[in-house]
């Protein structure tokens, strides 16, 4: 049996070190998965949800006990390694699609108010145009007719006085 | 005069088809708003209403006769007490013991069934609550809030008493203050 020479020992040490580094990096990633989710992680999902008990307040800002429980559940699910989509799907299954800040049926949710607004605006626009046009023409014709009448004595005297001073 | 009449602006109205569409949309929107307002003012389902069938999945450990979900129709011929609650609801805690005592009193007769519907709650907290108050009657989550929406509950706790024919007999909004209060509702229905 011959002793391992220093020339062979050096590459071996290098490979062992490399192997240890790989193992350490893998153990770090496992630790990262098992880490406690931060408040930011929880709130990133919570702000996309609304609790039916307090409908107008997003979950990340709601101070009620119900919402605190929901945030705890999100934290627990994140710690279990659940993804954002999985968590949101769970909440929809449990409490209905109305908990989502971004409704799933986008076309119906957004198109109906926009169409209603556009038609309302069109109606108002046409209505105003119909009111303004006759009013303007009436005002113009009445001004033309009223010109000689509006020159009363006081204005005539004023104009005469001003002409004299010139 | 004749010139003036000729110069008058010609009013071009909105085409008839456009008017019809616009008014139909406006009327439709008004109907939706009116329905929403009407629903908001309606309050809970009123006594005399025949309660439709619903399905309640049960928490494991809270099954009823080995079933993991129950249907209201399964209990026709029995008096059904449907209690809406939540673990985050402090007033629910006031009546939890009374509800369980009433279940222990009426359950063995086989004529009355108690059902706990857990409203907008998380299962871990619900389980803690059920264990804390020693509740043993069938309990489950109101998935997607379908049941609470049907009953149009205004909050928790609320308790609905359905008679043997499936007709809503009484609605208790808020917690029960004593077991006698529950007896005073169930006993007359039992006597019918």
ipTM: 0.74
From CA B102, how far away is CA B164, in angstroms rounded? 18
CA nearest to A115 within chain B? B25
Q: Nearest Cβ partner of A130 from B11, B125, B143?
A: B11
CA angle B137, B139, B145 (to 5 degrees): 150
With an 8 Å Cβ cutoff, is B24 touching chain A?
no
Instruction: State the pLDDT at residue A18.
Output: 63
* Close Cβ partners of B102 (under 8 Å, ≥ 6 residues apart): B81, B114, B179, B182, B183, B186
| Residues β-bridged to residue B171 | B160
Choice between A142 and B146, residue whose per-residue pLDDT is larger: B146
Residue that the structure tokens 């009620």 belong to: A64
Quickly state the pLDDT bin for A162 (edges 50, 70, 90).
confident
What integer pLDDT is reported at residue A153 of this predicted model?
82
For residues B122 and A72, give the distance between their C-alpha atoms in angstroms, rounded to a whole number.
Answer: 9
Question: What is residue A20's predicted lDDT score, i.e. its pLDDT?
Answer: 56
Residue A27 has pLDDT above 70, yes or no: no
| Closest to A70 in 3D by CA, of A52, A86, A97 | A52
Tokens of B9: 């602006």
- Name the pTM for this structure: 0.68
B37-58: average pLDDT: 91
Give mean pLDDT, residues B106-129: 96
pLDDT of residue A145: 55
Which residues of chain A does B122 touch, with a Cβ-Cβ cutoff of 8 Å? 69-70, 72-73
Give the residue carrying structure tokens 């509950």.
B153
- How far apart are alpha carbons A22 and A24 in whole angstroms? 5
Q: Are A52 and B145 in contact (CB under 8 A)?
A: yes
Q: How close is the nearest chain B Cα to the Cα of A92, in Å?
A: 7
Strand partners of residue B81: B114, B161
Angle, CA A151 vertex, CA A147 and CA A152 arms, to 5°: 145
Q: Cis peptide before B92, with omega less than 30 degrees from 0?
A: no
Q: How far is CA B80 from CA A51, A92, B182, B185, in A?
A: 29, 29, 13, 12
Q: Tell me the C-alpha distance between B115 and B159, whole Å.
A: 10
The mean pLDDT of A121-127, rounded to a whole number, is 76
Mean pLDDT of A6-22: 62
Q: Which of B168, B170, B123, B177 is nearest to B150 (CA)?
A: B168
Cα–Cα distance, B121 to B71 (Å, whole number): 21
Q: What pLDDT score does B62 carry?
A: 93
Of A66, A92, A93, the CB nearest to B120: A66
- CB of B103 within 8 A of CB of B137? yes
Q: What is the pLDDT of residue B2?
A: 47
SS3 B15: coil
How close B130 comes to chain A (CA, Å)? 16
The residue with greater pLDDT, B130 or B28, is B130
CA–centroid distance for A161 within its chain: 69
- pLDDT tens digit string along B180-189? 999 999 999 9
């Amino acid at each position: 049996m011959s002793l391992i020479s220093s020339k062979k020992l050096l590459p071996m040490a290098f490979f062992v070190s490399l192997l240890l580094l790989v193992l350490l990096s893998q153990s770090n990633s496992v630790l990262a998965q098992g880490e406690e989710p931060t408040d930011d992680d929880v709130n990133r999902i919570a702000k996309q949800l609304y609790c039916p008990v307090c409908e107008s307040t997003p979950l990340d800002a709601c101070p009620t006990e119900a919402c605190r429980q929901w945030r705890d559940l999100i934290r627990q699910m994140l710690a279990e390694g659940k993804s954002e989509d999985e968590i949101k799907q769970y909440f929809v299954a449990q409490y209905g699609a109305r908990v989502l800040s971004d409704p799933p049926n986008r076309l119906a949710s957004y198109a109906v108010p926009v169409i209603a607004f556009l038609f309302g605006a069109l109606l108002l626009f046409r209505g105003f145009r119909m009111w303004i046009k006759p009013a303007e023409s009436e005002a113009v014709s009445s001004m033309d007719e009223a010109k000689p009448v509006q020159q009363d004595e006081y204005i005539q005297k004023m104009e005469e006085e001003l002409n004299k001073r010139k | 005069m004749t010139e003036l009449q000729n110069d008058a602006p010609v009013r071009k109205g909105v085409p008839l088809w456009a008017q019809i569409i616009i008014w139909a949309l406006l009327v439709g929107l008004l109907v939706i708003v009116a329905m929403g307002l009407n629903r908001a003012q309606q309050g809970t389902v009123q006594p005399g209403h025949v309660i439709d069938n619903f399905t309640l999945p049960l928490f494991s450990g809270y099954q009823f006769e080995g079933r993991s979900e129950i249907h209201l129709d399964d209990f026709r011929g029995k008096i059904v007490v449907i209690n809406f609650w939540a673990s985050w609801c402090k007033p629910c805690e006031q009546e939890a013991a009374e509800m369980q005592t009433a279940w222990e009193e009426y359950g063995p007769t086989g004529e009355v069934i108690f059902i706990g519907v857990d409203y907008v709650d998380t299962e871990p907290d619900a389980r803690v609550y059920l264990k804390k108050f020693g509740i043993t009657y069938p309990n489950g989550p109101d998935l997607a809030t379908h049941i609470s929406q049907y009953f149009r509950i205004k909050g928790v706790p609320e308790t609905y008493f359905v008679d043997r024919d499936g007709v809503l007999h009484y609605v208790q909004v808020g917690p029960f203050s004593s077991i006698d209060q529950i007896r005073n509702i169930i006993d007359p229905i039992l006597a019918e």
